[in-house]
Structure 1
Amino acid sequence: MLKNENLAYYCIIQKGKIWLENKTLPLRNMADNTLSTISSRVIGRFNGYLVYWLEADDNNDPANFYGLRELLHIEPALFDLAGRAIQLSYMLTQQRHCGRCGNKAALHSEQLAMQCQGCGVMDYPRVSPCIIVAVRKDEKILLAQHPRHKTGMYTVIAGFVETGETLEQCVAREVLEETGITVSNIQYFASQPWAFPSNLMMGFTADYASGEIKPDYEELTDAIWADADHLPQLPPQGTIARRLIDHTLSFSSSPYND
């Protein structure tokens, strides 16, 4: 049951960024919206309130539009809905033409999909499957640094699933390609929608099997084994990467883990 039909969460998207008030999603009356928008759709519910996706035009001041990472502190379910809005906005720009006949496509009047204005084919949001894996070696975890991490942050290994590849095969391949390490005992952990811009991160844990660290310097700037007492800067709380790291280090330090 809705708590207050006059109040709702609003995910207002402009050029891949989201409107925030006091660094969080606005919960307010639709009549209070002063931004210029071109469409509005309900994309879910959270805590008894409707959640709307509003697509803004380009005439709004960009000062109050932020990247999705600014919302990592909110409840995961609401964060995922904000990510859904960003992914749907991405669909508008990336799927604006039909892949079958080349005619223009437009947002369907009822479904969250693009419909060709020529042949009528429906084109739904495209999701790119990715793996992310924490590799254990005794009391240590395999961490890597990417060139894009200018602050010195280290994280776990991740990569896109290739055509015809299982998730487990992808885990083993990505770890081997990026670090030279082979793994065993690959186990599913959890998943997280990751709208940067349209990924689904599927998390795994794995055990070290063999090899010495040999970073692929086209992908990484460094790779290390780290224990809980000697950790570099890590991904922020709210990310599946941080959940994997915390879980792995907690498991490794358990007195019941022989």
Structure 2
Amino acid sequence: MKPYYNPSFATEELEFHGIEKNSEGKALYFPVQSRKVLVENGIETDEYFRHIPERSVLESTEVIYIGTLGDIPCHCFEIPEEAEFENMEFLGLNDLYGIIDEEMLGITSRAVQMADFYRTHQYCGLCGSSTHYVPEETGMQCGSCAHLAYPRISPAIVVLIEKEKELLMARSHHFKEGMYGLVAGFVEAGETIEHAVHREVKEEVGVSIKELSYFGSQPWPFPSSLMIGFTAAYESGDIEIDTNEIEDAKWFPIDKIPTPPSKKSITGSLIELFIETHTPK
């Protein structure tokens, strides 16, 4: 039940530690403010991020090298909140989905996360002194005690559970009306991802599963998760939901599956795979 999976918000062509300068001066720049990127209105989307910012802008912030695409280095930088721009607008990653190609969306996702990491790690968490960016480590290092902080990545699992051609779906309190997803949750300190799957399923919906199989993974920049997808078969137990975590959970036959999350998420891709697998040809 696992075809080739090509996740959104992921880059496969960016060389993270490549050549930082192009002999012809070419580069891509990703201006970020509060997890949104600045783009120029009225231009083709494939021209986004090709504009070289004015020297005064680059000198007012730290420009962070995030990788090289082919022979073109890519950089991001955080824009001060008070800055104003004409004929430009800030777009979130969800806004850019379907507008720019998947590879560029993945690079933009990395730019947003790295700029946000830089913005939120200006001071050392141990001694409070100022930090600076260290490109070869992809981290922020304290100038006083040399403590090195790395970008936060929070691993989380999501699992498709099947029973006799029915799909177990759950509804979170914050979902739009009528929307259901799959059981998901964060990996806790000291546990494996496999244990996290079994634990989350038992905690949230009260059932036991078997035949756990890895499906794929997806960087999910909202704000900085790594989603790890699985499929599993129902083993035993009745649905008993944890009302602190979810609002409802039930088994859905294929012809009753509610509108799933967008395919841009690994959850949507898992559900689509289930539908394709069980739809009569």
Q: What TM-score bracket applies, with the shorter chain setting the length?
A: 0.7 to 0.9
- Does residue 28 (structure 1) correspond to residue 50 (structure 2)? The answer is yes
Match of 1:69 among 82, 88, 94: 94
Q: What secondary structure is seen at the aligned counterpart in 1 of 2:264?
A: coil
**Paired letter, 2:36:** K
Alignment of 1:112-123 (within 5 A): 112-123=138-149
1:54 maps to 77
**Paired letter, 2:61:** I
Q: What secondary structure is seen at the aligned counterpart in 2 of 1:70?
A: helix
1:11 maps to 30
1-side partners of 2:101 and 2:56: how far apart?
A: 26
Q: What secondary structure is seen at the aligned counterpart in 2 of 1:28?
A: coil
5+ residue gaps, structure 2? 1-18
Change (3 A) 1:226 1:35: farther
Shift in Å, 1:251? 2.4
Residue-by-residue CA offset, 1:143-200 (whole Å, 9 max, x unaligned): 2111122344221111110111111110111111111121111111111111111111
2-side partners of 1:47 and 1:236: how far apart?
A: 30
Q: What secondary structure is seen at the aligned counterpart in 1 of 2:209?
A: strand
Change (3 A) 1:75 1:46: farther
Change (3 A) 1:171 1:64: same
Shift in Å, 1:106? 2.5
2-side partners of 1:213 and 1:132: how far apart?
A: 17
Change (3 A) 1:24 1:180: farther
Shift in Å, 1:203? 0.9
CA contact (8 A) 1:178 1:216 kept: yes
CA contact (8 A) 2:30 2:38 kept: yes
Alignment of 1:1-258 (within 5 A): 8-21=27-40, 26-30=48-52, 38-46=61-69, 49-61=72-84, 64-73=89-98, 74-108=100-134, 111-253=137-279
Change (3 A) 1:70 1:46: farther
Change (3 A) 1:193 1:222: same
Relative to the length of structure 1, the TM-score reads: 0.84
Shift in Å, 1:215? 2.0
Bigger CA drift: 203-212 or 97-106? 97-106
2-side partners of 1:175 and 1:38: how far apart?
A: 45
Relative to the length of structure 2, the TM-score reads: 0.78
Change (3 A) 1:53 1:215: same
Bigger CA drift: 228-237 or 56-65? 56-65
1-side partners of 2:68 and 2:252: how far apart?
A: 40
CA contact (8 A) 2:38 2:90 kept: yes
Change (3 A) 1:223 1:4: farther
Q: CA RMSD in A?
A: 3.1
2:6 maps to none
CA contact (8 A) 1:192 1:201 kept: yes
Shift in Å, 1:35? 7.0
